[in-house]
Amino acid sequence: MDKRPHIKPYLYAMLAGFGAISLSILLFFLIYRFKGLGDAVSELAGILMPFIYGGAIAYALKPVCNFLDRSLRQALPPRYHRVVGPVSVTGSILFGILLVYALLLMIIPQLYNSILTLSATLPARLDALVSWLSGQYFADNEMIRNFLIEAYDALSESVGKWVNNTMVPYMQDLVSGVGQSVWNAIIGVKNLLIGLFVAVYLLASRRRFAHQAKILLYSVIKPRWAGLILDELAYADRMFGGFINGKLLDSAIIGVLCYIVCLIVNFPSALLVSAIVGITNVIPFFGPFIGAVPATLLILIEDPIKAIWFVLFILILQQLDGNVIGPKILGNTTGLSSFWVLFSILLFGGLWGFVGMIVGVPLFAVIYDMLKKLIFHGLCLNGQQQMLLDYHEAFGDPDDPGCPPPPPAHARRGKTQ
């Protein structure tokens, strides 16, 4: 028994005051030195970039590695199981390399040929487009026809000035800085190659690392909280894996369907247009619009009538994806409303660019799930079960957490005696 109970309140107050002052100083230091902190984080991220690349590659190839591991263990006798791990890792890495190589082999030559063709024939095609519009649709309206011709002449003059005054100096600066660009490219390739080796180690030791992280978590945190953290991490893994893999499959199907229709209808630059539509479809909500604009412009330069048909086809394709293909593959993976999907894309897209637009939705879904569980837990602690039940009845879903059932009456009577 403590013989000095009167000291405890003062001790707690002193510790609380010390903690508040320490947090205030830390917060002031972070705000005052935010630029330095950002520079330090950027420098650390640059040093650890091979491990970041390796972690991203390993996470993307983990489903393939697990599939190969399960299939080989079922197909091979037990005496060969010791080679299943290395074969699964090697097979998943080769699969990833071949997939990227096939995509680059399809896209880069087509992109190169399209750029050369456009650069050689763009002025003549623009002249033909203006002549076609003014003669086909506005032949009887001299004012609109003259406006189109004057606007085209002004645009041509502006483009010429822009090329001479902006692009030429920019290209000169680019050539003068080509040494730094080449060095940055070499650094990027070096980080990517090291990242491949890191991915191999991570895939080969993925189960060991998972067990080590679990042991570490249970060694520093109480079992109840450790279990909650593991449950949330498992939810985050399901969310990211399910959403990103499902979205990649969905976008691949959309790209293939677009390519087949482009070949049937004989749209220009079929492979490049389909690649643009498929790649941008990975971005939720805005992806179809982002991909439709450059693809339509490519076709518009070649054939204006086909560009109109292409826009109609893209509208039909996106309706098919949004109402049939996407729900079949993804379902309601995130559980977010359209408002929060839009919010997460704009927020993380503004922070991290293209990558943020892709990972923003599952990341915000994890944050949303954590906040929802904390709020529901707080309502249960404050005895507001009825408010939670009303919310469940009006807006809830089966996955929402609920309050634990109250203890039996005899248990409550025993506790009060």
State the average pLDDT over residues 212-221: 89
pLDDT bucket at 142, cuts 50 / 70 / 90:
low
pLDDT over threshold 80, residue 377:
no
State the average pLDDT over residues 8-27: 61
Do 88 and 65 meet the contact criterion of CB atoms below 8 Å apart? yes
**Looking at residue 200, what is its pLDDT?**
92
Do 58 and 199 meet the contact criterion of CB atoms below 8 Å apart? yes
N-to-C CA span, the chain = 25
Residue 400: both structure tokens together? 């929402």
How many Å is the Cα radius of gyration of the chain?
Answer: 30
* Model pLDDT for residues 305-340, shown as the tens digit of each residue: 888 899 899 888 888 887 777 777 766 666 677 788
More confident residue, 27 or 70: 70
More confident residue, 181 or 202: 202
More confident residue, 9 or 221: 221
Report the predicted TM-score, pTM, of the whole model to 2 decimal places.
0.66
pLDDT bucket at 356, cuts 50 / 70 / 90:
confident
**Looking at residue 413, what is its pLDDT?**
45
* Model pLDDT for residues 232-244, shown as the tens digit of each residue: 888 888 888 888 8
Min mean pLDDT across 106-120, 250-264, 317-331, 370-384 is at 106-120
**Looking at residue 1, what is its pLDDT?**
47
**Looking at residue 199, what is its pLDDT?**
92
Please give the share of the chain, as a percent, with pLDDT higher than 90: 10
**Looking at residue 140, what is its pLDDT?**
57
State the average pLDDT over residues 62-75: 90
pLDDT over threshold 60, residue 248:
yes
**Looking at residue 91, what is its pLDDT?**
93
State the average pLDDT over residues 67-78: 89
Q: What are the CA-CA distances from residue 118 to residues 46, 111, 129, 277, 310 (Å)?
A: 38, 10, 14, 19, 19
Q: What are the CA-CA distances from residue 178 to residues 115, 165, 173, 174, 322 (Å)?
A: 22, 20, 8, 6, 44
Q: Which H, E and C letters describe 179-230, residue by residue?
A: HHHHHHHHHHHHHHHHHHHHHHHHHHCHHHHHHHHHHHHHHHCCHHHHHHHH
pLDDT bucket at 416, cuts 50 / 70 / 90:
very low
Neighbours of 121 (CB within 10 A): 13
State the average pLDDT over residues 387-404: 65
Residues in contact with 89: Cβ distance below 8 Å, sequence separation at least 6, in sequence order: 65, 200, 203, 204
